[in-house]
Structure 1
Amino acid sequence: MSTPVLTAVCAMALPDQGAPPEWVHLIPMGRVRGVDGRGPYVLRDTAHAARVIAASGTGVDLPIDYDHDAILPNGRRPIAAGWIKALDARPDGIWGRVEWTTAAAAHLSAREYRYLSPVFDHDTGGAILKLRMAGLTNIPNLAVLTALAAQEAPLTTTPTADPPPLTAVCAALGLPDTTSPDQIAAVAAQARQGAATLTTVARALGLPDTAPPDQIVTTAQARGAPPDPGQYVPMSQFSALSADLAAMRGRLDADAAERLVAQAQAQGKVTPAMREWAMGYAAKDQQGFTAWASAAPVLVPPGAVAPPGPAPGGVSVPDATLTAVCAQLGLDPTKAARAATDKGE
């Protein structure tokens, strides 16, 4: 995320003296506004001033022109009034060592120019980033710089004690004042992601979205407490109990299947030959078998099917199906039943 860079033009009053001084006050320390209301512009401390100087020092002397001819579209050819040879970070701001031209020194001695106007880049929060140049002008804007003459009292500065916006953001995020805007944005994004994660965890634990981290940690630790041995049984006992329950369920299912099949036999819908199939079906799916029995046709007259097993005397009683088959074959149903009993069928 790039930070917009803006350029500001300010000015300070020059002293009434015979020759301009070698060192000039270019940018004041603190937070100030221009006379025209622009700003505020911020130079936080000497460390900030040192960074501005480092950004401004390109190995080429910074120019001082007349009336900002070098940057304003006024049609005049820019001519140098002097050159800033060095910059220095001081407790009251940034100072520059200037070599004035002969013509500029004459203009200043004649009071034809009375103000020096620095031109600098700053971010959207007003923090100064880089000194570009300066210009002699008679239209002042920034009236809080120290006068050039050492014998004159400095102009009154009124920097506010309030921290600039980025300083307040850095303090809120626990970052040093020297943190760049891109680094601040990255840390803020991480903070937002962390807050979203905490909200998700709080919801998973049944806590409100606004639950503080301490409450979230306490609840999570309680959920993850080691199990109480008194609330559990050994696996062997659990397995044995599961087996007993399965056997009991099997017996209940078998009894239920027996009742359903017996009822279907009494209704004439299941013959003895169908019993084994019917028992398997009913044991596996009682509801399915019940539905089938309800829709199945009557195969033999209801009550005609005798209970399975031998009759008294060891002779099986022929059922209705056997009787019908024997009638088609011209056989005696009783003899056929006795023959089946003798063969163990």
Structure 2
Amino acid sequence: MTLPEGNDVPQWIHLLPAGDFRGTDGRGPYTVPDAEKLILHTMQGQKRLVLDENHATDLAAVKGGSAPAVGWIVELQARQDGIWGRVDWNRRGNALMQDKAYRGVSPAFAVDASGKAVTRLVRASLTNLPNLTLTELHTQETGMNPSDIARRLGLPENTPQADLEAALSRAGQALQLHTQVVGLAGLSGEQTVEAIVTGLKAKTSAVQTHAQQVTALEAQVKTLQEQASRTAAEAALKTAADGGAVITEDMKAELITLHMQNPASAEKIISGLPKLGTSVERHTQRKTSASDDDTKVAGLLGIKVEDMKKMRGDV
């Protein structure tokens, strides 16, 4: 924020704007959803926030450099245009203000997991490059320093470089996994964890329903196959029985069961069943007639039947 004009050292400085805001370097947007809650979280457990120069506490102190305070923010106030802080200036700060050494204020604040909602103020700095809406350090800059990266990854600000690089590698893998899972869930674009979980549950439910439908269809097909096989076996057995084959009830049941399992074998057995036939051959002795006897006798004598009858006096 730009410092008030005038020769007097300001007692209050503007730390955060109201509503949605974005930095001049394009970062954001950010918002303060609840100003009173932000003030409570900021001042809880501490009586004052450091006010330094150009974020020396974040950039120089972590490397062992000097980061003196120029004043202390001892009170926060929610106003119509945002969050204001009352400053208790020290001699260095008073001198800088009277000398008009800086033209603006850059807050450092924490955000929630969405990266948008401001949850608390961390500190503020005097700067000549005010930006307002940089996630952590709000001077204009083209990149993020290690402490910014560590905070974004949920790590301590003084996390060693090697650990930061390992965490960034894991974050990259997690991002790739996130993209793949979004696709598996049947979604696209940026999605929340809740949306992905809902999509995966819907997919799982659909797969389970499909599996149940397939099982039901398989059971129906099996029943139809058994019915068709039984009908075919019964028709083949009826044909065999009509042709004279003797088929007992036990044999019929076994052949029907076999036909359901192996139609070709059942058909072969049925076609090979022995048949009794429809005609009856009688094998009792038959009485021969007189003419038949004359023929046999004449044959034995080697004469004609007429000559034999003449000799017998029948003619």
- Please tell me the TM-score bracket, short chain as reference: 0.3 to 0.5
**Higher RCO by CA contacts (8 Å cutoff, separation 6 or greater):** 1
Structure having the larger proportion of residues in helix? 2
TM-score (norm 2): 0.47
TM-score (norm 1): 0.44
